[in-house]
Amino acid sequence: MPPTRFLGSLSTPRVDISIDTGNLFFNHALEGFLKIGSVAATRSIAEDSFKAINGGKLSKHCLERSLKKMCKEGAYWGSVAGVYVGMEYGVGRIRGTWDWKNAMIGGALTGALVSAATNNNKDQIVSDALTGGAVATASVLLNYLT
């Protein structure tokens, strides 16, 4: 029998999705929605499975609740990611350059928009905008380190 080899590398998992809507802005937003939405749904179902296994309870009601939570979490976080990716792409197109400032502005706009949609407190909207900008900027800057 011929010798066999395993060639590969261990790195972070990467999923590439290619969807062509005919508009680059929508392509980026939809890609962000699908990627992060699927991660959020997977996280939700893994968390609920762990709770069901540890609690020793698995019923039809538990499964229905898990499915509803999975869909809700996937849709919410997918929407937030789609808005962020779209904002970042739009800011890049407007500015004509692609750097960390796009992430900062896109994160701040997304934080403010999501907060305004879920809150009425103006101080919280400003705080969420600052947090969104800071987290997005930190994420991009950390990617430069690796």
Residues 6+ apart with CB under 8 A from 87: 105, 106, 107, 109, 110
pTM for this prediction: 0.80
Is a pLDDT exceeding 50 seen at residue 132?
yes
pLDDT digits (tens, 9 = 90+) for 1-39: 555 554 445 566 666 667 788 888 998 899 999 999 999
In this prediction, residues 54-61 reach a mean pLDDT of 82
Residues 6+ apart with CB under 8 A from 34: 17, 19, 78
Q: What is the structure's pLDDT at 8?
A: 47
In this prediction, residues 55-64 reach a mean pLDDT of 83
pLDDT digits (tens, 9 = 90+) for 60-119: 888 899 999 999 999 999 999 999 999 999 999 999 999 999 999 999 999 999 999 998
Q: What is the structure's pLDDT at 146?
A: 67
Residue listed under structure tokens 């802005």: 25
Q: What is the structure's pLDDT at 6?
A: 46
